Amino acid sequence: MKFFFTTVIIFCLCPAITFAQKSGTLQGRVSDVNGNPLSGLTLQISNTNHKTQSDTGGRYRFEIQAGKYQLICSGIGYEISVREIEIHPAQRMTHDFRMKSLDQELQTVQINGKTAIQEVRETPFNVVALDARASYNTTLDLAHLLNKSSGVRIRETGGVGSDVAISLNGFTGRHVKVFIDGLPMQGFGSAFQLNNIPATMAERIEVYKGVVPIEFGADALGGVINIVTNQSANTYVDASYSYGSFNSHRTNINLNHTTKSGLSVQLSGIYNFSDNNYPVYGRIFDLDRNLLPLETQKVRRFNDKYENISFVGKIGFVGKAWADRFFIGLTAGKVDKGIQNANNLFTVFGERSSHSNMLAPTLSYDKRNLFTKRLSVRLNANYNYNSNTNIDTASRIYNWLGQSRPNRGRGEAVGTSSMTEFSNRNGSANANVSYSLDEKHSLSMNDVYTHFIRMPSSSLTAEELDETDLMRRMNIKNVLGISYRYRHSRNWNVNLFGKQYHTKAIGPENISTSNTGTSYVERTESFPAWGYGMATTYFLKDMQFKFSAEKAVRLPTEQELFGDELFEFGNLSLKPETSYNLNLGFLMNKALSEDHALYLDVNTYYRQIEDYIMRNIEQRFGTGFNTNHGRARNMGIDGELRYYYKDKIMLGATATYMDLRDKEKFRSATGTAISYTYDGRFPNVPYCFGNIDAAYYLHNLGHKGNTLNLGYALNFVGEFFLKPESFGSSEKATLPQQVYHDLIATYIMENGRYNITLEAKDFTNVRLFDNFGMEKPARVFNVKVRYFFMNRANKK
């Protein structure tokens, strides 16, 4: 496998020796239909790395190699404009654009031209891009919006605000890295995570599967999720409120203002609340006889209340001579939640709770053509401070009926009292420098440094403290990447890259040799590693073919190393995972006629993993822990198909099938006994799922500028195992196949200024399950109202 990877990369490098051709100048001005200049609109030369934004005077300029191209101008709220151009050596060509405003804020079919979504999809990497704007009037958060993507499955433990993990091509949780505008979200904590951020805070979501560009500096096996927020230079207000089943409230407001001088202010506020008192089927513990019967009863959750408030503020400049974008920002959040149960439905709590606060200053700087026309620099930095309190001081035992009796111990969990407080401090800095040697050759270097430290404390007495409670936990990572990009022609390009990883972890280790005693010391672990890869793509008319290969490394995360001080135990002995990845993709985006369009995206992949980190659940107390399992193999296929008819009808479907299997043949590294799980599927991993959705738009209904949108979705998750596949039928434990349906109706008034939405999720009331059999809310009804106002930039 290693020889194959090296051969592939050398082979792709060989054609990269060529001579630059003479270039010409392409320039112009972007304005509205009245001739007023428009700043911040995107100018893109298709199938090249040439991309810029119009300045405060609406001007743009390119130095480009002679040839035939498509010049594309686009921006939020404006129709896309495309020009066919041919530029000759030493020629100075001028092309001006007069942009037409869109009549409505709707998702319509754009037959001509390429949106930012299409530009992302057409990179050589295995990536899909979701348009978040089409979901602004729904109650979807970013996590559930991701569920609409092929190859992606959101794993939850309950209702609003529950723990969430992303499954991407079979890799879950920490195998997948999440970014927002290129900044890692790993240190933000539970106060600012994907399932409490509304769709209105994003413009699009980019999903990189497998091979990841060096620009993210990510140590990921599964891939990367990048949330791209609205970067419009327009002044706007976007406010919404929704109410739903189980007393769920969601409120969000987004404000943006950019002055003619380029000063920009962005503010967002989020509030989420829910009683989460949805029904589940639980085994009722008999408090008098200390018995847990096998039969279940329908009960309501009673200690699962969730409340979250978050704030995001940014101030900076856009379109300046010294910076295309420069922002300093602050993200703050608070979460209070009840703890109803552990990682199973057997262990019930009646008074446990957790509370967290987060504060994260951020800095971002982006400048193209710095000092010279071919040099670009991007800097991102953030520092996250999280304080967390876990309260378990009730000396009682509860059952699902809310009944309780005194407990001999000093808490509900494992009989020990706890009022643990700990703080996580996580800093990250990302620097990227890229330089275009000429029209065909470019180089890029990226470095990401992250630093994590946790200092637990406790309000308990010294006698009640564990000896590890006051020990520090520290993790330092650095990922350095270098890439070379070669564009042979408009039809073919290739990207080659290498990465160097280093991690250092410090934390407590039990050195006791006794089965019952403990003796902890501070331990340090350090690991260096190397990775490399390539990605290439070829265009043929309306079709695109992709191939990528990589040796990837994934470093253990802070939660895997140190736990979460609640239900997850740490393991400082974890080694980095290594994976050899192959990806093959096909994309077609075809206008069948003036009224009909078809989009198809199919991807296949193969992963060979060593030192695979697997999460396990201890059944008695419902606690989780991670181990290096050994070898694993994953292969699969996913696809998306969409059909559009004018701006009236959309039909779509996504489907995913994967096969993640245990390839650790022997029970121990030195033994010869065959493992009973060898070549079986890993448990708790859905391997077949998808959805079908349809939308119908009734325009000018009731009044000109009003539109009624009707939508339907069918969701499918196939049966999967909760325990190893090799277990006998009586122990195998599976989650049954789940098929459920959603309905949505949105009425848009005055071209999108006023909006009201009604939703019925799982309206047939099918029981829904997820992580290790955790039951989720079934039928849910929501109503949402939204107000949107926008004032175009630079209008006089």
Topology of domain 2-102 in CATH is Immunoglobulin-like (2.60.40)
Helices (H) and strands (E) in the chain, counts: 4, 46
Max Cα-Cα span within the chain: 91
Q: Which two tokens stand for residue 113?
A: 């031209």
What does the buried/exposed string (b/e) look like for 532-559 if buried means 16 or more CB atoms within 10 Å of the residue's CB?
Answer: bbbbbbbbeeeebebbbbbbbbbbbbbb
**C-alpha to C-alpha distance for 752 and 356, rounded to whole angstroms:** 37
* DSSP secondary structure string for all residues of 135-159: GTTS--BHHHHHTTSTTEEEEESSS
Strands 577-591 and 738-749: unpaired
Asked if 600 and 545 touch (Cβ cutoff 8 Å), the reply is no
* Partner residues linked to 577 by β-bridges: 554
Name the 3-class secondary structure at 796.
Answer: coil
> Which among 386, 412, 706 is positioned nearest to 564, based on CA atoms?
386
pTM of the entire structure?
0.80
Interatomic CA distance for residues 692 and 690, integer angstroms: 7
Question: How many angstroms from the chain centroid is the CA of residue 375?
Answer: 29
Query: Cα dist. 139→130, 312, 776 in Å?
Result: 16, 20, 17
Can you tell me which residue has the tokens 């001081």? Answer: 393
How buried is 791 (Cβ within 10 angstroms: 0-12 exposed, 13-18 middle, 19+ buried)? exposed
Contact assessment for residue 392 and residue 414, using Cβ atoms and an 8 Å cutoff:
no
Sign of the dihedral through C-alpha 462, 463, 464, 469: positive
Tell me the C-alpha distance between 347 and 331, whole Å.
35
d(CA 706, CA 753): 10
Q: CA 52, CA 70: separation in Å to the nearest integer?
A: 14
Distance CA 226, CA 350 (A): 38
Please name which of 161, 274, 267, 146 lies closest in space to residue 199, comparing C-alpha atoms.
Answer: 146
Q: Is 65 within 8 Å of 439 (Cβ atoms)?
A: yes
For residues 99 and 31, the answer to whether their CB atoms sit within 8 Å is yes
- pLDDT value at residue 183: 83
The pLDDT assigned to 717 comes to 94
**DSSP state letter for 568:** B
520 closest CA partner among 533, 506, 534: 506
CB of 258 within 8 A of CB of 210?
A: no
Say which residues have a Cβ less than 8 Å from residue 73's Cβ, sequence separation at least 6: 30, 41, 42, 43, 44, 80, 81, 82, 83, 97, 99
In angstroms, what CA-CA distances link 661 with 169, 628, 678, 781?
13, 15, 8, 38
3-state secondary structure of 356: strand
C-alpha–C-alpha distance, residues 124 and 538, integer Å:
8
Any idea what DSSP says for residue 291?
Answer: B
Q: What is the mean pLDDT of each run of 10 residues along the chain (796 residues)?
A: 47 40 77 75 78 77 82 78 84 85 43 58 83 91 91 89 86 83 82 90 90 85 88 87 98 93 94 97 92 92 96 93 93 95 86 93 92 90 90 90 86 67 87 92 94 72 62 89 91 93 86 68 87 93 92 86 76 88 91 88 93 77 78 94 91 94 81 84 90 94 92 94 68 80 96 95 93 88 95 54
The C-alpha atoms of residue 757 and residue 768 are separated, in whole angstroms, by 24
Q: What letter would DSSP give residue 254?
A: E
Return d(Cα 484, Cα 488) in angstroms, integer: 13
Strand partners, 712: 694, 743
Q: Which of helix, strand or coil describes residue 730?
A: coil
For the structural domain made of 118-791, what CATH number should be given? 2.40.170.20
Please classify residue 3 by burial: count the beta carbons closer than 10 Å to its beta carbon, then call 0-12 exposed, 13-18 middle and 19+ buried.
exposed
Question: Both tokens of residue 270?
Answer: 């989020």
Do 207 and 547 meet the contact criterion of CB atoms below 8 Å apart?
Answer: no
Q: Is 160 exposed, middle or buried (0-12, 13-18, 19+ CB in 10 A)?
A: buried
Query: What does DSSP assign to residue 683?
Result: T
| Domain definitions of the chain by residue range | 2-102, 118-791
Whole-angstrom Cα distance, residue 272 to residue 116?
A: 30
Cα-based angle 765, 769, 775 (whole degrees, multiple of 5): 85
**pLDDT at position 56, please?**
64
Query: What's the pLDDT score for residue 395?
Result: 86
Task: Dig out the tokens for 390 from the structure.
Answer: 């876990």
Chain-centre distance for alpha carbon 481: 21
Q: Cβ contacts of residue 363 below 8 Å, gap of 6+?
A: 327, 328, 329, 379, 380, 381, 382
Closest CA to 380 of 404, 354, 361, 406: 361
Where does 663-796 show beta strands of DSSP type E? 688-699, 707-717, 720-721, 734-735, 738-749, 754-761, 768-769, 775-776, 780-791
CB of 780 closer than 8 Å to CB of 245: yes
Contacts 24+ apart (CB under 8 A), 286-295: 286/399, 287/397, 287/399, 287/403, 287/404, 287/405, 292/346
Which of 500, 550, 496 minimizes the C-alpha distance to 530? 500
**Residue of 508, 550, 557 lying closest to 532 (CA atoms):** 550
- For CA atoms 188, 189, 192, 194, give the dihedral sign: positive
Quote the radius of gyration of the chain (alpha carbons, Å). Answer: 27
In 3D space, the residue among 696, 659, 706, 699 whose CA is nearest the CA of residue 679 turns out to be 659
Residue-wise DSSP of 196-247: GSBGGG-SEEEEEESS--GGG----SSEEEEEE-----SEEEEEEEEEETTT
Q: Chain-centre distance of CA 510, in angstroms?
A: 35
Beta strand 97-99 with 67-74 is: unpaired
C-alpha span between 526 and 575 (Å, rounded): 9
Report the DSSP beta bridge partners of residue 436: 442
